[in-house]
Chains A and B, each alone.
Chain A
């Protein structure tokens, strides 16, 4: 792997780390895998490109977060008020979003954003080491640090604690006079707001927006989370979030390396799915294997 591809991997990894940090709220805190992510990532991307085409990349960031939160609120309402299974609610929102995302992208399946100003212009060509522009990476790291810091603080506030407890023991939260429906809707909104932010940054980074890019984003996010958790096995919210960030980076570097070795780019989704399956398989099959060995040793 040469220096440029490693740097590219680090940059993409940091973008998808944001996605995984958002997904962490739904998947780990609320214990509800949220399929809306596949749609809300593109919502962020679409809103971002619409604003970038009007030379307003920073306003695009804010509206991407708002748009993403709105998709989360819809899934949350379907799940809590209509008693739908969280997965079905997510699928419905995600499917509906496909059309909406297309409309936001001016009814074009893909847009090219090259030549317009974007959020990476601030540090562009300011920090050049070894002939490579470190601006984008530093900016992405700063965004990640801000998000992780805000998240750690938020989860320790009263609202954040109620959110954590909702995923942990719903009955107990209700008997502490907290509206668990509201907490879940808020969790979904936060999750998808952050995911949309990640989509928005992705569009500005690649300078393209494609409506189909969202497929498999949930699985990619899960892969990042699981890689981080398996490698670092940490406790506490801050450590957990840092491990997810590192997981996303490591996963992306492994992918980049695999591409170098000749893995076709079209196999990326299969690769993500297999990683998640294997990571979930190991803790389940390990006790069975130990039992099997004990049994054989006895005979």
Chain B
């Protein structure tokens, strides 16, 4: 269970460019929740994910994962139980290393580092099986460098790496946005399958409203560093894409009104 309490993130504090990226956000995710996060640019979606993953500093508030306060824990320590995917398919893998070496690194996540070869024979059969599940033929190319793969294949591999040791929390930051529509759909389906099979608590940012409503069990709409609404259950089922768009524009109007006043 992930609890976020009164979380605020302020960029460029005490300068003329000061900006409240997250404004007193509180949120609770239950185990196995698959939550999609939508909102216009600058709404604070990525900041929320970065704060949870630990690569930006929190101004106030706390982040509690399974009863443990992780607000000030270092990023590399948090990644023992947090898996993460970025929008950029190049960001999640080491290009000059082979597929099995990348998987080997991910597979050792959270374990004590050991001497001896990074990819053992027994590991190789596990990697082969997990690659087969992706259905992209990566299992035949375990020894080729990741730099030779396409963006979609690299993103699928990153997904596999993030989940090969089942994480307590999976953070997806628009992970299909840079892919073509067909691959994007494929990756989205693989994501859904892996998340469901392992019952991973997941937070997914997306700009694709259709996906946001189709996958997962909750949808958060964010604007200006605040959570506008949380849709779940019946209410979420009855929400159409147009409803969300209306929510965006109505919120945008109030913003521009106040901007005019200033």
* Chain A contact residues, CB within 8 Å of chain B: 156-162, 164-165, 168-169, 171-180
Contact = CB atoms under 8 A, between A and B. Distances in A.
Contacts of A169: 90-95
B229 to A, nearest CB: 30
7 contacts: A164-B97, A169-B95, A174-B75, A175-B92, A176-B105, A177-B76, A177-B80
Interface size class of B (residues with CB under 8 A): 35 or more
Contact of B96 (A168, A177, A180): A168
Contacts of A175: 53, 75-76, 79, 82-84, 92, 162
A156 B117 contact: yes
A177 B93 contact: no
Instruction: Rank and list the top 6 A-B pairs by shortest CB-CB distance, nearest first.
Output: A168-B94, A161-B118, A165-B94, A158-B118, A177-B79, A177-B80
B94 A177 contact: no
B118 A172 contact: no
Interface stretch (B5-13, B34-42, B107-115): B107-115
A160 B119 CA distance: 11
A169 B96 CA distance: 9
Contacts of B77: 177
A165 B83 CA distance: 17
A165 B115 CA distance: 16
Given A174-B79, A177-B79, A162 B105 contact: yes
Contacts of A179: 76
A177 B83 CA distance: 10
A180 B79 CA distance: 13
A174 B76 contact: yes
Contacts of B78: 177
B92 A177 contact: no
Given A158-B108, A161-B105, A179-B76, A172 B116 contact: no
B76 A178 contact: yes
Contacts of B91: 169, 171-172
Q: Is the interface of A mostly helix, strand, loop or mixed?
A: helix
B58 interface: no
Contact of A160 (B75, B102, B110, B118): B118
A232 B207 CA distance: 48
A164 B117 contact: no
B44 interface: no
A176 B109 contact: yes
Contact of A172 (B94, B113, B117): B94
Contacts of B83: 175
B63 interface: no
Contacts of A159: 113, 115
Contacts of A180: 76
A176 B101 contact: no
Contact of A158 (B53, B94, B104): B104
Contacts of B75: 174-175
Contacts of B221: none
B70 to A, nearest CB: 13
Nearest to B88: A171
A158 B115 contact: yes
A176 B106 contact: yes
Given A161-B104, A164-B94, A165-B94, A176 B79 contact: yes
B93 A172 contact: yes
A168 B91 CA distance: 10
Contact of B95 (A168, A177, A178): A168
Interface string B103-144: 011101110011111110000000000000000000000000
A27 B48 CA distance: 36
Nearest to B90: A169
Contacts of B106: 176
